[in-house]
Amino acid sequence: MQNPLAMLLAIEEIKRLKARYFRTMDTGDWDGFASLFTQDAHFDVRGALEEKPDLSALGDPIRGRTAIVDYVRSGISPLTSAHYGHMPEIEILSEDSATGIWALDDILRPPAGGPFTLFRGHGHYHERYSRIDGRWHIADLRITRLMVELN
């Protein structure tokens, strides 16, 4: 994609996609959340609650839109959450393909009696996007952690 205006528009559309990701996840809008992913998306959040986890001991990433939504819904529904992404590094590879890295901060609060009182995490989302029928979708998502704070 050579057209600078088209590239800027694509970057802004991807920023809006990521904003919807955070909002729909934190508000439990699971239909909206599902619409953000390609049908065959990969979702790698193995060890996302730890600093420097041993991924080889944690199984495979989640594959497929339905499995991703089921996984996130079951894991986050009992929690109060606030997720933030900022400082995006988005690269448009072609008219229908892009990559991005987002700095992340998230706060999770379980119900009383949970395994912690408050979780704060910091790290990065590493993503690949595909444009399908004129709309950008998340095709691959991987989280890496820099720091985890538990209270």
- pLDDT tens profile 63-96: 999 999 999 999 999 999 999 999 999 999 999 9
Contact 64, 56 (CB under 8 A): no
48 has pLDDT over 80: no
Residue 70's CB is within 10 A of a number of other CB atoms, namely: 14
CATH number corresponding to 4-150 = 3.10.450.50
From residue 103, give the alpha-carbon distance in Å to each of 20, 52, 100, 112.
16, 16, 10, 29
Contact 98, 10 (CB under 8 A): yes
What is the rounded distance in angstroms from the CA atom of residue 78 to the CA atom of residue 113? 12
From residue 80, give the alpha-carbon distance in Å to each of 6, 25, 46.
38, 11, 20
1 band by pLDDT with thresholds 50, 70 and 90? low
42 has pLDDT over 90: yes
131 has pLDDT over 80: yes
Residue 9's CB is within 10 A of a number of other CB atoms, namely: 12
Q: What is the mean pLDDT of the chain?
A: 94
23 has pLDDT over 70: yes
What is the rounded distance in angstroms from the CA atom of residue 91 to the CA atom of residue 108? 30
Q: What share of the chain is helix, strand, coil (3-state, %, to 5)?
A: 30, 45, 25
Q: Which carries the bigger pLDDT value, residue 50 or residue 6?
A: 6
**Sequence ranges of the domains in the chain:** 4-150
143 has pLDDT over 80: yes
What is the rounded distance in angstroms from the CA atom of residue 32 to the CA atom of residue 40? 17
Query: Looking at the whole model, is its pTM more than 0.75?
Result: yes
* CA of residue 7 relative to chain centroid, distance: 22
pLDDT recorded at residue 134: 96
